[in-house]
A and B are shown apart, each in its own frame.
Chain A
Amino acid sequence: MNNLITSGELLQLLPFITMLAGPVLMIFLISIRRNHTFTWILTLLSFALTLAFAVYLMDKEPYVSPLLTIDRFSLLYTGMFASAGFLVTLLAKRYLDNLSERREEFYLLLLFATLGSSLMVSSNGFASLFLSLELLGISLYALISYIHRSGKAIEAGLKYLILAALSSAVLIFGVALVYYETGGLSYSSIGTYLSQHTFSPLLVAGIGMIIAGAGFKLSLVPFHWWTSDVYQGSNAPVTAFIATVSKGGMVGALIRFFTMIHGTEYQQVVLVLTILAAASMLIGNILAVRQNNLKRLLAYSSIAHLGYLMISLIAFGDGGTQAATFYLYAYFATTLGAFGVISILSDSQGEAEELEKYKGLFWKKPVLAAFLALIMFSLAGIPLTAGFAGKFFVALSGVKADLWLLLIFLAVNSVIGVYYYLRVVVMMFSAPKEKTPASDNSSTFSAGYIVLGLLAIIIIYLGISPNGILSLIGSAVILP
């Protein structure tokens, strides 16, 4: 057996190597001479190269090792994370320009976190999953608190740290129990064991703890307590990153895990996931209705959206994984857009998070308001937007798998969702209370508008003709 990496395998690992080479190069540059713009360009380049390599490798031979499986599925997700990271980098520059010093490490952490998330999707065993999960987690603790104007970011970072460490401890203890029972750490060996044995109490406890740990990362009810505070406390680009890349990594890892162990064939697992999905939809939406803070509103709405996504995870075989991935695409585009608007409207005084600030936005900044309205329509699932197509495919997979209870939940909660999303839209189009002087001309920020324009095209494109992306997703088979 030859353990050395051949040049062919090195080529297959290129998307990950670029994400690793960027930060390493930055560490050297920082120790020699700091240059914000150059580091920024280097980060954009790393993300763009990762995306390019991921697309290039799509049609090549997959890479399979005892720790990682880099197949079309993981490349699809890696490409998605790299694009999201690219957009977050574009949004973050203006924030970091306001800092007087040590701006460059932010990008380093961003790249490491994206690498962690991509590796999570490629992991085919718990050893690599745990390592990549922590690579993501530890980078995130620092990212959340990195730009702190007040104590809020520190508070959010610490809350996230304690709870995330707690959840990884729960997850890893669950893995230990599963390992104790099955004698294997890779998904395939666990799957083989499960198909030959019945569930023992220890195994049930182990898998339950793994689902709990994963549920924390996805902020499913009842593991959602950190979400609103962390969303509010961190700056808009970082929040966009947590809401998209960090959750997407866990969704991808869960899809792979359940595919390999055929998780949805076991009644107990389905029952637990059903409860989590239903509770997330209902409680997320109910809590969102009461919010007057846009960031907190989006936090609770993201809990509900992950609940919708869980339906397609439960409906697994019947096109569920494709629906989940498509929903994730739609969710990425809308969430990045929403936080993009917040970060453009934010200035050195603070984040534009209070809903009051959005009153009459249409009369002051029509382009931004129209874009935010598009986002809200997409989140609410109004036809011709990505959100509608995503919800449609999720519901379709649910119908095929006869998950009627969850579908009723989906329908009822979509109605609640429409109420509070449209409240934001109504607020933007209502006449402004008093005439505020148009002082913030300084926030005409071109890179942010480029991001929003791109996302608007993606949202409408996914809503009008989802077939192109769907066939791409359909071809992304998970290798054993």
Chain B
Amino acid sequence: MMEQIPVEQSLLLAALLFGIGLVGVLIRKNMILMMMSVEIMLNAAGMAFIIAGSRWAQPDGQVMFIFILTMAAAEVAVGLALILKLFHLQKSIDADEMTQMNDITEASESN
């Protein structure tokens, strides 16, 4: 019998992955990399579900993981289409250049 990995440690790993993804979304400027970071966060949540499911010996955790996987795929499909469209329009997928809309102070300066 192999030695069991404590549940707390695997949950910590999921939390760590989630944190890496969150930091990625916040500091990245490339839209594709931002989407990848969101995917990491979603998969961290999926992992947490599998850990929780194994703790309670229920299939629910794995079912939720499949749901998350499916939904993430759909999201990426729409997201990549939008990013392509943005690239056609602006020749850039830099998040910092998405500044067509702003609050009043900046808008009045540009006018």
Known A134-B74, A155-B100, A233-B101: A162·B86 in contact at CB below 8 Å = no
Question: What's the interface size class on B, roughly?
Answer: 35 or more
- Tell yes or no: A251 within 8 A of B by CB: no
Known A152-B100, A169-B21, A176-B48: A127·B85 in contact at CB below 8 Å = no
B60 near A127: Cβ-Cβ < 8 Å: yes
A158 near B82: Cβ-Cβ < 8 Å: yes
Which A136-188 residues sit within 8 Å CB-CB of chain B?
137-138, 141-142, 145, 148, 150-152, 154-159, 161-162, 165-166, 168-170, 172-173, 175-177, 179-180, 183, 185
Binding site for B on A (CB under 8 A): 127, 130-131, 134, 137-138, 141-142, 145, 148, 150-152, 154-159, 161-162, 165-166, 168-170, 172-173, 175-177, 179-180, 183, 185, 228-229, 232-233, 287, 290-293, 296
A229 near B101: Cβ-Cβ < 8 Å: yes
B103 near A290: Cβ-Cβ < 8 Å: yes
Given the complex, which residues of B lie within 8 Å of A145, measured CB to CB? Answer: 82, 85
Given the complex, which residues of A lie within 8 Å of B85, measured CB to CB? Answer: 145, 148, 154
Q: Bound state CA distance, A145 and B24, in angstroms?
A: 25
Question: With contacts A141-B82, A166-B41, A177-B48 known, what are 6 further pairs, Cβ within 8 A?
Answer: A127-B63, A137-B75, A138-B74, A161-B82, A169-B18, A291-B104
B101 near A183: Cβ-Cβ < 8 Å: no
Given the complex, which residues of B lie within 8 Å of A130, measured CB to CB? Answer: 64, 67-68, 71
Q: Bound state CA distance, A290 and B38, in angstroms?
A: 33
| 21 residue pairs A–B, Cβ–Cβ below 8 Å | A131-B71, A138-B74, A145-B82, A145-B85, A151-B89, A151-B100, A156-B101, A162-B31, A165-B38, A169-B18, A172-B64, A176-B14, A176-B45, A176-B48, A176-B52, A179-B49, A180-B52, A229-B101, A233-B101, A292-B107, A293-B107
B42 near A169: Cβ-Cβ < 8 Å: yes
Checking B22, B38, B67, B108 against A162 with a beta-carbon cut-off of 8 angstroms, the contacting residue is B38
Given the complex, which residues of B lie within 8 Å of A233, measured CB to CB? Answer: 100-101
Q: Bound state CA distance, A166 and B40, in angstroms?
A: 10
Given the complex, which residues of B lie within 8 Å of A170, measured CB to CB? Answer: 41
